[in-house]
Amino acid sequence: MKNVFLLTLALLLCMACQNQPQRYFPDSAETETLKAGIKAYEAGDWDTWKGHFADTAKIYVNSTKPLTIEERVNTLKSMTSAMSSYGFNHDKEYVEMVLDKEDETWVYYWSAHKGTFAATNTELVIPVHLAVQFVDGKIVEEHVYYDGTAMNAEFAKIAAAAAAAEEAESSEE
């Protein structure tokens, strides 16, 4: 009798596990949209990049204060214009779509961003995490996380060198 009870319990547990809906997806339309947006970023194709976002999208970059799409494009243009090359390491990227407990659709992306500053020929490799919410195939919210310490230091070095050059030029006059 004990064995029948344990067998019945095991069968019930197996059946209960099988009724759970799938919540994690390595491939989906949303993961492909995010990858297409990354490709547009790497190409500097800002119109295509913006096309993946809803008009009211909020973008958070290491902050709780959102940026608009236009504000984010302007910061990306400024950052990438200082670089002779930039992009993500696609050999070691990880992307997945998740349906959370509220049935919201999120795509998570992990990779390393590599960029070379034109003025100093300094190459930086920075781990990046994106958490991107989709509604009706469009990005409505994006959270970008990375440690910007090294990049900010490089921008400060470039600005200091430009200021020193400007000061030297004005003292020669």
pLDDT in tens, 18-62: 667 788 888 999 999 999 999 999 999 999 999 999 999 999 999
pLDDT of 158: 85
pLDDT of 19: 65
The overall average pLDDT reported for the chain is 90
pLDDT of 11: 63
Q: Residue 14: is its pLDDT beyond 70?
A: no
Dmax (CA) for the chain in angstroms is 102
Q: Residue 12: is its pLDDT beyond 80?
A: no
Contact 138, 57 (CB under 8 A): yes
- Angle among Cα 115, 142, 63 to the nearest 5 degrees reads 80
Q: What percent of the chain has pLDDT over 70?
A: 89
Point out the least confidently predicted range of 35-39, 157-161, 168-172: 168-172
Per the model's pLDDT, the better-predicted residue between 80 and 170 turns out to be: 80
Write the pLDDT tens digit of every residue in 97-118: 999 999 999 999 999 999 999 9
Q: What percent of the chain has pLDDT over 90?
A: 71
Q: What's the gap between Cα 6 and its chain centre?
A: 48
C-alpha dihedral sign at 150, 151, 157, 163 = negative
C-alpha span between 88 and 38 (Å, rounded): 8
Q: Residue 172: is its pLDDT beyond 80?
A: no
Q: Quick one: pLDDT band at residue 15, thresholds 50, 70, 90?
A: low
Q: Residue 7: is its pLDDT beyond 90?
A: no
C-alpha span between 79 and 60 (Å, rounded): 16
> Can you read off the two tokens belonging to residue 39?
């490709």
